[in-house]
Amino acid sequence: MLMKRRSMLAALFLLTLPLAAQQKVKSVRLYVFDCGKLKSGNPAPLLERGITTTDMSVEAFLIVHPRGTLLWDAGVIPDELVKPEGTVEARATVSTTLKGQLAAIGYKPADITYLALSHNHYDHSANGNAFAGSTWLVQRPERAFMFPDTPPATPINQSARWSELRNSKTIILDGDYDVFGDGSIVIVSTPGHTPGHQSLLVNLKKTGPVVLSGDLYHYPAERELKDFTPFSNLGDAAQETVSKAKVEALLKQKHAKLWIQHDIVADAKLRKSPGYYD
Ligand SMILES: [Zn+2]
In the reported structure, the alpha carbon of residue 75 is separated from the centroid of ligand 1 by a whole-number distance in angstroms of 9
Ligand 1 centre and the CA of 215: distance in Å? 5
Residue 214 CA to ligand 1 centre (angstroms)? 7
Tens-binned pLDDT, residue by residue, of the chain (278 aa): 444 555 555 555 554 445 445 458 999 999 999 999 999 999 998 999 989 999 999 999 999 999 999 999 999 999 999 999 999 999 999 999 999 999 999 999 999 999 999 999 999 999 999 999 999 999 999 999 999 999 888 888 899 999 999 999 999 999 999 999 999 999 999 999 999 999 999 999 999 999 999 999 999 999 988 788 888 788 999 999 999 999 999 999 999 999 999 999 999 999 999 999 99
The per-residue pLDDT for 20 is 47
Amino acid 233: pLDDT: 80
Greatest alpha-carbon span in the chain: 77
Per-residue pLDDT, 232: 77
CA 217 to centroid of ligand 1, rounded, Å: 9
**Beta-carbon count within 10 A of 241 CB:** 14
**pTM higher than the cut 0.85:** yes
Q: Residue 162: which residues within 8 A CB-CB, separation 6 or more?
A: 74, 117, 120, 125, 128, 129, 146
Q: How many angstroms is it from 42 CA to the middle of ligand 1?
A: 14
- 19 CA distance to ligand 1 centroid (A)? 32
Determine the pLDDT at residue 6: 54
pLDDT at residue 179 in the model: 98
Q: How far is the CA of 124 from the centre of ligand 1 (A)?
A: 6
Q: How far is CA 131 from CA 49, 63, 166, 180, in A?
A: 39, 15, 12, 19
> How remote is the CA of residue 125 from the centroid of ligand 1, in Å?
10
What separation in Å is there between the alpha carbon of 206 and the centre of ligand 1?
28
- What's the gap in Å between 240 CA and the centre of ligand 1? 14
